[in-house]
Amino acid sequence: MIEVFGYLSAIVIGFTLGLIGGGGSILTVPALVYIIGISPVLATSYSLFVVGVSALVGSLNYMRKGLMSYKTAVVFAIPSFIAVYATRKFVVPAIPEVIFTAGNVVVSKDLAIMVLFALIMLMASVSMIWSGRSRFNNGKPAQEPVFNYPLILLEGAVVGGLTGLVGAGGGFLIIPALVLMTKLPMKLAVGTSLLIIAAKSLIGFIGDIQEQPIELGFLIPFTAIAVAGIFAGSYVSRFVANERLKSWFGWFVLLMSVYILLRELFMY
């Protein structure tokens, strides 16, 4: 029964990504940890593969429509690739299983990862609620892309590091960065973000292949179901206002992040 709920969560992950162009990755780690029962470190590894493949499939539709800025993707992605690979290959394995103890309080590696993930979910929820209420472009004419290279490179490295630590794609950070720092129109930013997420997530997963016990017999069917959910979400998105959905989903992510913090910090 638990496995059935796990695969149902894969549909929800893909459906959300197809429906609003992001957010599905923020559900992957909690689903793998709390429903399937996978350890947080391994769940972040699986999440990189699920998110990477799902985002790649989602990006193909934007490529077909010409909603992709390849120059922006390359500028943003290079430091992100390096950061996510280095984090998964060297940083995560180097974190001790018990980070520190203070009296009866034991801060383990799993606890630290889940708390960090919950805090990132809080950031994601605020971003989605805000973007759902007031669009970045506000109906203004699209501007020519302007490249603030130092800021884009720094943002790429930060997002890559966070992706490596918690296994989330980071679209809630990438999209505002692309819109505000390069003046990309919103739809072009979403398509470009999906391509960046796909590439850096899959590169991060490569760094895990020799470090984690990957069970392809579970991972591939789970990912395939998530991809099927993307097509369903993309179809439904034609009939529902994207901004309103993003705001509602943002509130859902906010509640989930509070639940994870309470569960990890006070229930155990």
pLDDT, tens only, 201-250: 888 788 777 667 788 888 999 999 999 988 888 788 777 766 677 677 77
> Higher pLDDT residue, 145 or 27?
27
Burial of residue 102 (number of CB atoms within 10 Å: 0-12, 13-18, 19+): exposed
Residue 140: pLDDT over 70: no
Over residues 34-51, the pLDDT tens digits come to: 888 888 888 888 888 998
pLDDT of residue 41: 82
Cβ atoms of 126 and 175 closer than 8 Å: no
DSSP label at residue 102: E
Q: Which residue is it, tokens 């229930």?
A: 267
Over residues 164-189, the pLDDT tens digits come to: 887 666 666 677 777 767 777 777 87
Give the residue extent of every domain in the chain: 2-266
pLDDT of residue 172: 66
Over residues 1-43, the pLDDT tens digits come to: 666 777 888 888 888 777 766 666 678 888 888 888 888 888 8
Over residues 63-80, the pLDDT tens digits come to: 988 888 888 888 888 888
Cβ atoms of 261 and 117 closer than 8 Å: no
* Mean pLDDT, residues 127-154: 64
Rounded CA gap, 122 and 128, in Å? 10
pLDDT of residue 169: 64
> Higher pLDDT residue, 35 or 190?
35
pLDDT of residue 123: 81
Residue 266: pLDDT over 90: no
- Distances in Å between the Cα of 72 and the Cα atoms of 154, 174, 175, 195 are 14, 11, 12, 10
Q: Which residue is it, tokens 């499939």?
A: 57
What predicted TM-score, i.e. pTM, was given to this entire model?
0.74
pLDDT of residue 147: 67
pLDDT of residue 221: 92
> Higher pLDDT residue, 179 or 94?
94
pLDDT of residue 222: 92
DSSP H or E stretch at residue 101: strand 98-102
